[in-house]
Each structure stands twice: as structure tokens, then as C-alpha cells.
A and B are shown apart, each in its own frame.
Chain A
């Protein structure tokens, strides 16, 4: 950064302002890309942190992430660039940060789209999965917060769901790390399969 740039950023002029200092804004060329999408407050940022080892801010309310975060992850033996997006309920954006999230899908051509959902509220979450499939995007579905779903007496048959939807489905608990190894492997596999198909 030039000296004048430094001085400007000291006064907050021109510098990037975010409460989450980690993760950079620019996309890296050459690396295969994974984009994380989903409704607000389903744990996208926690999954992002688990995959990349970054420390994106995580809270228990919708709308913690308002801008795009990027990090690097090693999945199934290969390096990927992982993008965390602000929450969006569907492919049809309502607010500004939903627009930011959708732009990632429309313009960046991710190699895999990881749709993180709250396993307790599948009825409200799955329409977006259908839209992502409709859009021809290579989707992997992460049934997150499986522990809370189980505690509420909700049992999801992930294998059966995988068959019906025709996409990889992995049950996860991002807070404890449960299912994250399987998720890493399935993401890597799916990304490579896409490469073969293309």
C-alpha cells in the first residue's frame, strides 16, 4: 500500500471497513471455487470457518455477515477458494446484502455451491435448494444444526434425501465439527465430477 493510501485508510477513507478483519475481498485466479449460500442464521460463517480455518464473525442472529468473505481450504487433497456470502432466502433477492450474495452465484461461476440449511426448518429451506438445482448449479446440501433437530425430535434421512434430490447431502453440526470431514470429502468429489462433466 502506498503511503498516501495508508494515511487515507487510517482515517477510514478508501480502506475496507468491516468488523471482520480476516478474509480478503478479491478473488484468486486459478483456484477452484466453492460458494457457501443459504438463509440467514443457519451457520454459513461457522461452516466457512471450519473449512478455511478463518475467523469470520459468528453470532446468533440473522444478518451477521453483510459482505463477502473469502478464504482458502484444502478439500480431498486439493486447494479451493471458499466464499462466504450474506444470507439469502431465495434466488430472488429482496435486500442489498441478498443481492451481493446472488451476484456471487450469477457472476463467479463457482465449481461447487454449498447450500447450508437449518435441519430443523427444512420446509422453509429446501425451496432454495430446488432453485439452485433449477439454475443448473453444482449443489451440495449441508443439513446443519442436526443436533438441534435431533433434540427437537426431527429425524432426517440424509441418504434418502440425497436420492430424491439427486445431489450430495451431508448432515453436519458446525459448532462441534460433526460431519465436517465427510462434507470436505463430498465437496471435493463433487467439484472434480463437475470438472469431468464439463
Chain B
């Protein structure tokens, strides 16, 4: 078979003459044709300009002259002129190769799609999706039914007694016994938190999330809440990292790359670090507050208001232009079970490779901290802060956990609630404060990688006192209003 050779598109005379003059001046090696480099220069591509100024330094000024001259000959920006020419050519090609039958009315999927994006019907649909997927599936099935079973039956009746027996029989030293089965034991704290609390919650979340994302609902949600996001200086583009943040804020911080401007990236990173609880936090909060609708509502409202307030202020403070929003809306599709499973497994694998070692190391550090007194020292340092927001002193431990990982702190919250130490107003206050409280180590390191040390540190330094301030105000408001939960 003869290999047909593709012929590049011809532009109008003025552009072609500018192009051939630029091409003759380009001597460097660019990986793509000189023609393409010329076109990118004409369209004002900064990255390519920089490359050419380095590789073809002597003729760069001359090239800039040709570009300026060409621009002056057109009323519109050259990127527009060039895109228009390409569009025409594509239309010409398609008229010869594509036939489209006229469509008959809008199908069910199309009607549902419109309902999802219109504010009047879109908000109720959103509430139904949240209720079914987050509350019922993750909050009730994952965080209550599955956690109860694994925690009480598998760990409570089988693993814990068996391991404790084993360790106390074969290891005579209490100190070493504690390392495995004590208050902060590797098995009784690290392994139990990972598998009994975090695993069921995160698994159910990832399943729900995979189904939602494969259905094509997220871009429609982005269109729906674009207006709310405009208020806080973001566009609907921020919806996907935000929703992903409910899974894991660390993952989501990486996905801020899909945003256009630096300003949007900083605001999204800040809001992810502050006001978006990750799946484990969310699941635990649902589990411990679901018995009390009022408490749950206060938590939702408090976190949402903080999200809007800080987002709005950040939008005012952080300089830069607002970018416009345009997103492809793919068709609604039935999620494929195999893809949902594969994705859930891949995410779980990623999550556990990250979380499990941290939990184990945290257990060891806490054990060592207890031993050396460092733990009590830091705990007592946090105690005044904890008292300041009206919480019992035991709570300082979970804030210490929270430094390691958000989900670790959430798991601690679950334990304190089970033990009856945290109930009523203090429970809500601690749930809100812990939700806002510092990004975990993993998230922080990704923030440094994506946004730079200065921004990351500034965000963390803002969040730490701010979380406690909110806790204080909330506690004060609830107690002075005489709210009893």
C-alpha cells in the first residue's frame, strides 16, 4: 500500500508569507515542524516564545518583528483567525465524509440531563443523590452497619482477645505488650482503625463515587452550581476537585491542576484543606451524628457557611482575573460494573498503601511519645485550646491524631463518642473543629508540591487558629442560645 502523505493546511497570503519568513529564521530543533512553531508564535504562545528566544536568540528580535507586523494586519487576534481557517477546512472535510440523520425529539437521557442542570429541578435531584449515595450508602451502610460488624464482632470478639492473649502470654514486658495491644497499640489502634473504621467507610464511598462519576453526573453538577461557585470567585470547574475531596483531599489537591488560573488553584486548595471533609471524616460524622438530626444539621450548616465565607473572602483577597467557565458535558451513561469495581479497587489500593503505614507509624510514635512523656507534653499544650472551645480534656488526643491524618482524627472521635466522653454540644463542636482542622501530612506535602512551600504554609497557619476560633464561636452560640442536643 502506498503511504499517503498528509499535506498541511494553507492559510491566507499574509499569514503564509509571515510563516515562511519565520520558518527561514528558525534554526533550533523543536520536536515539531518549524511551521507549527511559527503558528504558535503568531498566536502568542508564551512557552514557545521562551523556547525560541533561547534556541534562536540572534534572530528572535526579527521574528518578533514579523509577528507584530502580521498581527497589525488583522482586526482579530491571530489565534482567532487561525482557528477560523481550521474550522472552515474541517467543515469542508466533514461535508465529504460524514452523514448525519436528523434527530427525532429528545430522548429520556437528554431530558434527564436538562433536569439535572436546571436550578429548579437540579437542586432536588442533587439532594436525592446526596441522600442516597452519601447518607444512606456511606453513612448508614458503610459507617454504621459495616463498621459495627467489623469493629464489634471481628475485632471485639475475635482478633483483639486473641492477639491480647497471645501477646500477654509470650511477651512478659508490659512496655512491649503496650506497643502491640495497649491504648495506642499497633493492633488495637493502628490496625483496628484501618480495617474496622476506615475500610468500610472508604470502600462504600469509592463505590458510590465511581458510579456517580461514570454516569456523567459530575459535569452536570458543575453546570448547576457554577453560579454558587462564581460567588466565591471560582467556576464550576472547581466542582470535580471539590467532590473528589469528599473521597480524599490529598487526591483532590492533585486534581486542582485541571483549573485554569493560579488564583482558582489557590482558592480550591485552601477550601479543600479547610472545609471539605474527606470520606472517612464524613462517614464518621454521619455515623455519630445520624442519631440526632439537629446535631447533623448544625454540622452541615456550620461547615457549609464556613466554606462560603472563607471562599468569598479568599475570592476578594487573592488577586487575579476570574476565568470563564466552559465544560464539555458528556452523555449520561449507565456505569459499567466492571469499570466501577476496577476503579474502586485501584483507589482502595492507593488509599491503603498510603494510609496503613501512616497509622502504624502513628501508633508507634504515640506509644513512644507516651513512654517519653512527649505525648503528655503536647497533649497538655493542646488542652487549653480544647478547653477554650468547651471540650473535655480527653479531646486533645484526637486533635493530635488529626495531625497525622484527617481520617485518623475522625476515628478517634468515633472512639470518644462510643465511650460516652463526647456527646451533645461538645460532640458537634469537636466534629466541626476537627473537620476544619489542619490538613493531614499527606495533603500538606501535596500542597507544597502543587502550590509551593509559601502558599502551603500560609494556608496551614491560617487554618489552625481559625478552626479553633470557629469551634469557640459555635460553642458560645450554641450554649448561649441554650441549645441542647
Contact = CB atoms under 8 A, between A and B. Distances in A.
A127 B342 CA distance: 34
Interface in B322-338: 327-328, 330-331, 333, 335-336
Nearest to B356: A10
A156 B97 CA distance: 6
Contacts of B308: none
B350 A152 contact: no
B258 interface: yes
Interface of B: 3-9, 30-33, 35-36, 39-40, 43, 45, 47, 51, 79, 83, 86-87, 89-91, 93-94, 96-103, 210, 213-216, 218-219, 240, 250-251, 254-255, 257-260, 327-328, 330-331, 333, 335-336, 339, 342-343, 346-347, 349-350, 353-354, 357-358, 361, 441-443, 445-446, 449
B358 A134 contact: no
A123 B88 CA distance: 10
Contact of B258 (A13, A60, A97): A97
A155 B100 CA distance: 6
A108 interface: yes
Contacts of A122: 90, 94, 98
B214 A134 contact: no
Interface of A: 10-14, 17-22, 39-41, 55, 57-64, 66-67, 86, 90-97, 99-100, 102, 105-109, 122-123, 126-127, 130-131, 133-137, 139, 148, 152-157, 160-167, 175, 193
Going nearest first, the 8 A-B pairs with the smallest beta carbon separation are: A153-B101, A136-B33, A12-B442, A135-B36, A166-B6, A135-B32, A63-B258, A127-B86
Given A19-B251, A123-B90, A175-B336, A134 B33 contact: yes
Given A12-B441, A91-B40, A130-B90, A21 B257 contact: no
Nearest to A164: B93
B446 A12 contact: yes
A20 B346 contact: yes
Given A55-B342, A58-B343, A94-B260, A154 B100 contact: yes
A57 B351 CA distance: 14
Nearest to B353: A21
A155 B3 CA distance: 25
A137 B93 contact: no
24 contacts: A11-B358, A12-B442, A12-B443, A12-B446, A17-B250, A19-B251, A40-B328, A55-B342, A90-B83, A91-B36, A93-B47, A106-B31, A106-B32, A106-B51, A126-B93, A127-B86, A131-B86, A134-B33, A134-B35, A135-B35, A136-B8, A154-B99, A166-B5, A193-B3
Contacts of A41: 328, 330
Interface of A is mostly: loop
Contact of A133 (B6, B96, B257, B259): B6
Given A58-B339, A164-B93, 7 more contacts: A11-B445, A13-B445, A57-B347, A59-B210, A60-B215, A61-B330, A156-B98
A165 B449 contact: no
Contacts of B40: 91-92
B327 A148 contact: no
B102 A57 contact: no
B349 A21 contact: yes
B346 A19 contact: yes
Contacts of A66: 254-255, 257-258
A39 B328 contact: yes
Contacts of A100: 257
Contacts of A64: 213
B361 A10 contact: yes
A122 B91 CA distance: 9
Q: Which of A59, A93, A108 neighbours the largest number of chain B CB atoms within 10 Å of its CB?
A: A59
A134 B219 CA distance: 32
A105 B48 CA distance: 13
A127 B43 contact: no
